[in-house]
Structure 1
Amino acid sequence: MADIALLGTSADPPTRGHQALLTGLLEHYPRVATWASDNPMKQHAADLSMRRDLLQALVHHIADPRLELAQELSSPYAITTLERAKKRWPSQHFCFVVGSDLAAQIPSWKNSRDWLSHCELGIVPREGWPLADSALNALNALGARLQVLPLSIPGTASSKVRQAGERDQVPESLRPLLLKHNLYGYSLPTA
């Protein structure tokens, strides 16, 4: 079993799904490290430093000492993140965590066979994104040490907040920052 679950996310913005995922991981791992990252397959609505601040606010709200924002792990590439994690925690074993929506993409990620050999791969089923057997088979063919994690994550999506203004998907703890910076359709009333 891994000592530390690693969860990178675009956090554009963090949603109730991110909150459920982080708290769920704390039920299965002694420590959880998270960070905001730039996904090379996405365009982001807020810059990385703002997304980091939003994720930090969520981590602070969860208030569990076993959960930390480890922004220094942030990289568009999983292999770089794992190299950084090994330098920071040289004697620890890692579980790199992704949602079921990303499982089929992993074989196309940079050096996927290499980085998969250095960690467990935890896949979290997300409501609305079924995990296909073909994705699992492709990951097994790359030598992944797979775990489908027994978590129930709601079908929230940051894109729904950005595109459709579904504010109920954003944790209340983030509202002050969103209002302060006029992000994702949140703004203070004008006088």
Structure 2
Amino acid sequence: MKIGILGGTFDPIHFGHIQPLLEVKEALALDKVWLMPNHIPPHKQQPNSSTADRLAMARLVCEQYDWLELCDIETQRQTPSYSVETLATLRRAHPNNHFLFIMGMDSFASLPSWYHWQRLFSLCHIVLCQRPGWSLDNRSEMNTILAARQADKSQLDSAVAQGQQAGLILPVAITPQPYSSTAIRAQLLTGELTIEGLQDEVSQYIQQHQLYR
């Protein structure tokens, strides 16, 4: 199976996470997408809500889509979650799957700061969500890597058919989303009850558990 993976704090999860995943799934004909919440993110401050709450909200969202599943592998660790270690573990557990690690252009540009980042290209394919107006510096190392590894859906399908499970970079143009976890948390802090960008189930969970107040 072709499985997309999106990691993040999801603090809280919102349509700005989900809509791009739907577009990626359709563009590359993925079988599933796994949401993978962090426990101790290595590149961000500690989340505002607990790991248990963020898992619960992500699970509520997954229940609304038959193609979306929760992957809690990183929440079971008591150490920072490094993507290469997670993907190596998933590769051993699911040797026949083709994993596509989903990230934005900003994350891709910062990959050289990630732990053992070069190993990613031997563990998975990378899906690069492209937003209008965002581009890499033509002189950057990551632009050179993108030019060497860039592929489209037909090349992905060919790689899957040949058993090539890693190494491609697949840019996918996505619709810009007006939502961010930071902005949503700021709205919730003011006591607003109706927050655009949250699924009803997530909004109800936040209210019931008095999160972000």
TM-score, scaled to structure 2: 0.74
| Correspondence for 2:152 | none
Partner of 1:189: none
Aligned-residue offset at 1:15: 1.4
Tell me the matched-pair count.
181
The answer as to whether partners of 2:74 and 2:81 remain within 8 angstroms in 1 is no
**Which amino acid in the other structure matches residue 98 of structure 1?**
M
- CA change 1:56–1:118 in 2 (3 A) is same
Distance change in 2, residues 1:142/1:160 (3 Å): farther
1:56-95 alignment runs, 5 A limit: 56-61=59-64, 63-64=65-66, 66-73=67-74, 76-95=81-100
With over 3 angstroms needed to count, the CA separation of the structure-2 counterparts of 1:150 and 1:141, relative to structure 1, is closer
Deviations 1:149-180 (A, max 9, x none): 13324142111112354831322221111011
CA distance in 2, matches of 1:153, 1:117: 30
**Cα distance in 1 for residues equivalent to 2:74 and 2:42:** 16
SS at match of 2:35: strand
CA contact (8 A) 2:127 2:171 kept: yes
* Aligned match of 1:156: 179
Matched, 1:181 2:209: yes
Q: Distance in 2 between matches of 1:67 and 1:18?
A: 12
The aligned counterpart of 1:53 is: 56
Match of 2:7 in 1: 8
Q: d(CA) in 1 for partners of 2:170 and 2:10?
A: 23
CA 1:131–1:39 in structure 2 vs 1: closer, same or farther (change >3 Å)? Answer: farther
- Deviation digits for residues 27-56 of structure 1, max 9, x if unmatched? 231121111113222221012221111111
Aligned partner of 1:137 among 139, 143, 155: 143
Structure 1 consecutive aligned stretches of length 4 or more whose deviation exceeds 6 Å: none
Alignment of 1:32-43 (within 5 A): 32-37=33-38, 38-43=40-45
Which amino acid counterpart does residue 54 of structure 2 have in structure 1? Answer: R
In the alignment, is residue 110 of structure 1 matched against residue 115 of structure 2? yes
- Cα distance in 2 between the residues matched to 1:142 and 1:111: 19
Report how far residue 138 of structure 1 moved: 5.5
What are structure 1's unaligned runs of at least 5 residues? 186-191
For residue 170 of structure 1, what is the aligned residue in structure 2?
198
Give the root-mean-square deviation of aligned CA atoms: 2.5
**For residues 161 and 137 of structure 1, do their structure 2 counterparts lie closer, same or farther at Cα, with a shift above 3 Å needed?**
same
Name the CA distance, whole Å, in 2 between partners of 1:41 and 1:51. Answer: 17
* Aligned counterpart, 1:188: none
Scaled by the length of structure 1, the TM-score of the pair is 0.82
Q: How far apart are residue 92 of structure 1 and its match?
A: 1.4
Residues 1:60 and 1:153: Cα distance change in structure 2 (over 3 Å)? farther
For 1:4, the aligned partner's letter is I
Q: Distance between the aligned counterparts of 2:5 and 2:169, measured in 1?
A: 14
In structure 2, what is the Cα distance between the partners aligned to 1:135 and 1:171? Answer: 39
2-side partners of 1:69 and 1:95: how far apart? 15
